[in-house]
Chain A
């Protein structure tokens, strides 16, 4: 049993070794003596870098991450159920297993529907005063304001 899993740790150590070896090879072969000056500046399309890049970031990414956590945990909980589903079917309890998982799914789908309705799944949330054509759905609804 443990024999199946022990290769993982050996592989991790081996991976570190396999990265370090070519890096040593590279440090032997690549030029080293002309570093310095503008070469070590951050790249910004040839301009001098403007301030630090470590800035506050758009909250949309964090919302996506939060929704992801919920769904990923859901998927993980489904795997053990999926493994035994056929066994339940063969014993005649298939419908029971199915209904139970559907209850679990419905609870999650309520949350999903909430996020969808609150338009947290939309990347662009802005509303425009004038919007036509394929951007028409972005137009501000005057009555609701």
Chain B
């Protein structure tokens, strides 16, 4: 499992992450909430090694991530970026089978077996109809599902997702997060997902972290005493005192009160 200790990152001379520490647990989705620019993306990219860090230690299963080869890192961390940005055209099953890259030799390519497995993963997500279709012609929601299938193909110890549902319509947001949660639980994988909507985090993430001004303001598990009250307090601290939060039947409803 991923362990982050005292992670510190500067970007353009500005301190963006100020000594972040946490550890992921197997089978548990952790949602990271925070304002735009709070450092959610920076956190994910620094863990993945895309950004230089100025301090801190990253380990997976006790081994330093810095010392792993690219292929071994890929077996520890799978990544779902914010948006699909393929420069060329790939069929969906082709795209999913790229998740097997880390398990192939430097000169090999996925064979029939990998392709069949990619197709099976897509069917398992009720996305069998995507097989044979080019990625750039899929809807945003369909592309997300292909990413999830690819992450499952990669079979990494932890999944890191950067706002995976922000651009989707309501039903697809729920569908994606539901499938993600089920996979993480079955695979006993760690999962860190930057999420914009507190309601979705409350419903689908057993653990919620709030990132604020470069630090972890709050790190809560569902079922802890005072969970909902503390979550509401944390949200008000970040979004403003006007925020109203109501918890009912396992749902979080948010509203806003203006001072007249």
Chains A and B come from one and the same complex: no
Give chain A's interface residues, CB within 8 Å of chain B: none
